[in-house]
């Protein structure tokens, strides 16, 4: 059988067949159940780690952030958080330019459609 390798059974000849069958059934049930137990242990450990990290972030890290922001020595914690990074500012400018170009393109296409529909009426 897979997972058990070679099993010596010569010492089992002294037991009754009925008892051997019960022992074999019990061994197979425990073996199959053990795989389920191991999966549950791994799942429980993963859930525990996730809960622990969530707790750490929600309680401990939150305290540190609030303390840093209201610290009179460091000061300006809220202002520093609200500052826009240069990369975000450049992306914002690119998006504004793209929106402006799209609006101009829309107006140009609308003008062309108006012109072509106007010529079709003549």
Residue 114 tokens, joined = 């108006």
Each residue of 22-65: pLDDT tens digit? 988 998 899 889 889 999 999 999 999 999 999 888 888 778 77
List the chain domain ranges: 13-74, 84-121
pLDDT above 90 covers what percent of the chain? 37
Distance from CA of residue 121 to its chain's centroid? 59
Q: Cα separation of 77 and 13, whole Å?
A: 79
Whole-prediction pTM: 0.39
Each residue of 89-107: pLDDT tens digit? 899 999 999 999 999 999 9
The answer to whether the CB of 69 falls within 8 A of the CB of 77 is yes
According to DSSP, residue 83 is labeled S
């Amino acid at each position: 059988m897979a997972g058990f390798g070679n099993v010596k059974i010569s010492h089992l000849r002294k037991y009754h067949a009925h008892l051997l069958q019960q022992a074999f059934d019990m061994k197979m049930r425990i073996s199959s159940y053990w795989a389920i137990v191991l999966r549950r242990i791994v799942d429980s450990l993963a859930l525990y780690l996730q809960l622990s990290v969530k707790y750490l972030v929600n309680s401990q890290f939150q305290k540190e952030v609030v303390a840093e922001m209201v610290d009179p020595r460091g000061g300006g914690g809220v202002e520093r958080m609200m500052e826009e990074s240069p990369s975000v500012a450049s992306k914002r400018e690119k998006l504004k330019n793209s929106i402006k170009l799209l609006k101009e393109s829309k107006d140009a296409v609308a003008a062309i459609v108006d012109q072509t529909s106007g010529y079709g009426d003549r």
